[in-house]
Every structure is written in C-alpha cells, then in structure tokens.
Amino acid sequence: MEHLTSRFYRDVFLYLPINKKDKFMIRFLTAGESHGKALVTIVEGFPSNITISSEDINHQLKRRQSGYGRSARMKIESDSVQILSGIRFGKTLGSPISFLIENKDWTNWQEVLDIEKSAGSIKKITIPRPGHADLVGVFKYNFDDIRNSIERSSARETAARVAAGSVARNFLAHFGIHIGSYVESVGGIYSTQDYFNQFLQNKTSLGKNGWDISIKADKSVLRVLDKSQEKKIINKINSVKKNGDSLGGTFITIATGVPVGLGSFMHYDRKLDADIAFHLTSINAVKGVEIGNGFLSAEQYGSQVHDEFMNDGKSFSRKTNHSGGIEGGISTGLPIIIRAAMKPISTLAKPLNSIDLSSMKKVVSRYERSDFTAVPSCAVIAESMLAWVLAKHFLIKFGGDSLEETTDNFISYTKKSFSRIRKGFRK
C-alpha cells in the first residue's frame, strides 16, 4: 500500500510539472519608463540555434518608429538595441536573452525622473487627460503625481516588445511562417479597394508571404497600400494638427505559412484566437480585434460565412478564409487574418474638460507633447505580438530545446500526421 502511494506521488510530482504544454512556454518581461534611462526586455524559453542579429531587431525598431503624424519625440529617438545576453556568434543559446534600448530623451528628463533624490522643486502633474491612463493610475497606485502614471503607461514600452517579437519572427521564419501588416484606415478614410476582403476570399494579389505585404506597406508613410488613400489621410492628419485633435484607425495583421494545429479547443486558455485577441488588445490604445470576417459574420447567413472544404488530390484546403485561419481555436493552415482598431491618441492639443486633483475644480485638460496618430506604428507592434503568440503555440505543439529538435518534431508531424489524414479515414 505504502509502495502504491509513493508511486502515485512520484507520478503526480514527476510528470505534472514537466507537462509538455508548460515546459515549452516562452515568456518575456519588459521594464522601463517612457523618459527613463532605457527600456529592458528579457526573453525566455526559446530553443538554441535561432539566428538573430542586432540588425534584424533594429530594422523592426525603425519600422515601429516611422509613420506620418508621430510626435517630435521620434526626431529625438533612433532606437537601437544592445544585446546583453543569450546570443553567441549570432545564435540563441537557449538561455535568457536580454535587450537594452536607450531613451535618448532621458538626458532632458534626468531630474524629473531621478531614481533616488526627493522630488524637491519638481512640479507635480495634477490634471488628468481624458482617455489616458492618468486618472486610473492615480486611483490604483495611490500616486500624488500623474507623472508616475504617464511614464509606464506610455506606448514607448512597445519598443521593448518589438525587440522580443524579433526573436519570435526569426524563429517562425525558419518554419516558413511570415508576418506582415498594413494600415487599413485612419480617421475613417479607407481605400476604395477592399484588400481585406481579398484575403478573406483567399484571392489576394498581394502575395503569398505575409512579409511581402509589409514590404509594400512600408513604402508608404502611413503604411497604406493605396496612394490616393494616403493623400486623403495626410490631409486629414494636417487638419487635425491645426485643430489640436487626434486620430485612430484600423489595421490588418497577417501570418502566412502557419501549419494546421496551433492552439487547441481542449481548454479555454489554449485557444489560438483567444490568445491572439489578448495579445493584440494589450497594445496601447487598441480597443477592438476581429478574427477573419469577425463582426460582419454576425450579419450574414451561415452559408455565406463558413469556409467550404476542397480536396484536389494533393492538398486539403478551404475555398474561402472567412474564419481568418482559425476554427475551433486551432489554426487551419490558411493565413491568419486579424483586423484591429486603435482609438485616437488621448493627448489633445485642444484639450477636453478635466478636474484639477489639487483643487478639485473643473479645468481644461493639460497638453503634453504627443503623437497626432500612431496607427502605422501600432500595426508594426501588432506584427510583433502576433509573431509572439504564434511562436508560443508553435513551441507548445512541437517543443524542442534546440532549433534542430523543434525542426525534427515539426517535420515528423507534417509528413506523418498529414499524409495519414490526407489518405482519408478508410485507407
């Protein structure tokens, strides 16, 4: 009896903690204030032997910084990564990878953000901006200076995420998975060409590789695919600058080459679509995420929405991709298509009404240097977040401590499992 009990404990304690799904979970942490000395990222859990260079990361950082309508801050910063650990001779070691990105603007903020001295004559910020994290931060963290809310809630932090996403991108590229994005609209100005619908119909002329879409989008200062749309948006941003207002917009993020089988319907927190929605809404100012034809599908008949199956003898696919590449929380093998909405920037040069927390009197809100719109940057950050989620689910499925081991597992799955299914149940 005693023997059986101890065997039970051995089984439970030995096998549960090394559950495959937890062992291969990647994670990252970021640290840093918007105007502090630097941003720091720690990335953990990737296998060894993934090729990565500071040039790869800097390219993504530069893409995140660009876009018409950004603040004067972008003229101060030119983000560049310092790799501190986890990479040797251009390849991951399997150990924690750490990155540092300096804030050049810090030299102008050293006194305001001093780490050890007391506030002294530094003026506290007492007027919260509607829509920003200013007021909720004061309530939640018991701050008496809104500066403390502003610093960490700033979207500056997303530079650190893009660095983490670069590792995920390089890892995925090894398996032919490529991620891209474009801006669909800014301030309600859309292209007359419905590129999004072309993706849903599985009939896009924009290329089979997600990254090609980004290459096209990166040629535009707004990351749009249509020149006439770009002109209209620039005019609108210019008028917004004059009027002291701001704009939001929508953007599309796409991943191609994703194999069937990432994610799971076995439990709510293993669903790929749920995880994507979480990661995208975690981006500052993102207020909505649609997978595939999302909200439109609620208005249509089932016969219009669901993607019919096709088998041409070689491959098993779907006629359309309204589902955005995910059914039952699992990737279908078609491109993952995500549309997301970013609200307008909260800081307005012509401010809304607010309350001064030092007097509790009604005042107009305060203005602090900010962007007029940042939708192009947001789309680049979304690419990083999508890369991250896909790398996570890829490793949950295929595991591996080295890239070679992950590759063996992946090949075995695609060759053996797929050919079994392709033959049909009876053969």
Residues that bind ligand EPS (CB under 6 A): 34, 71, 73, 77, 105, 154-156, 159, 284, 368-371
Q: How far is the CB of 392 from ligand EPS (least distance, A)?
A: 24
Q: How far is the CB of 34 from ligand EPS (least distance, A)?
A: 6
Closest to ligand EPS by CB, 282 vs 300, is 282
Closest to ligand EPS by CB, 191 vs 246, is 246
Closest to ligand EPS by CB, 167 vs 378, is 378
Distance CA 115, CA 36 (A): 9
Q: How far is the CB of 153 from ligand EPS (least distance, A)?
A: 7
- Partners of residue 39 on adjacent β-strands: 101
Q: Could you give the angle at which helices 375-398 and 54-65 cross, rounded to 10 degrees?
A: 140
State the residue for tokens 């040797």.
Answer: 88
Q: What are phi and psi of 292, to 5 degrees?
A: 60, -135
Q: How far is the CB of 370 from ligand EPS (least distance, A)?
A: 5
Closest to ligand EPS by CB, 150 vs 337, is 150
Q: How far is the CB of 76 from ligand EPS (least distance, A)?
A: 8
Q: How far is the CB of 281 from ligand EPS (least distance, A)?
A: 16
What residue type is 169 in one-letter code? Answer: R
Closest to ligand EPS by CB, 154 vs 256, is 154
Own/partner pairs, 78-83, CB within 8 angstroms, 24+ separation: 78/104, 79/159, 80/54, 81/54, 81/57, 81/163, 82/54, 83/54, 83/57
Task: Name the E strands within 133-282.
Answer: 178-186, 189-190, 249-256
- Give CA separation, 202 vs 287, 304, 335, 348, in Å: 27, 14, 9, 40
Closest to ligand EPS by CB, 153 vs 253, is 153
Q: 200 and 98 in contact (C-beta within 8 Å)?
A: no
Closest to ligand EPS by CB, 53 vs 71, is 71
What residue type is 320 in one-letter code? Answer: T
The token pair that represents 81 in the structure block: 């990564």
Q: How far is the CB of 222 from ligand EPS (least distance, A)?
A: 16
Distance CA 154, CA 152 (A): 5
The token pair that represents 417 in the structure block: 């499992």
Q: How far is the CB of 350 from ligand EPS (least distance, A)?
A: 17
Closest to ligand EPS by CB, 159 vs 164, is 159
Closest to ligand EPS by CB, 73 vs 236, is 73
Instruction: For CA atoms 14, 17, 20, 24, give the dihedral sign.
Output: negative
Distance CA 63, CA 253 (A): 15
From 105, 50, 106, 60, select the one nearest 81 (Cα to Cα). Answer: 60
Closest to ligand EPS by CB, 104 vs 219, is 104
Q: Could you give the angle at which helices 375-398 and 272-281 cross, rounded to 10 degrees?
A: 150
Q: How far is the CB of 62 from ligand EPS (least distance, A)?
A: 11
Distance CA 171, CA 52 (A): 9
* Residue 122 burial (10 A CB sphere; 0-12, 13-18, 19+): middle
Q: How far is the CB of 124 from ligand EPS (least distance, A)?
A: 17
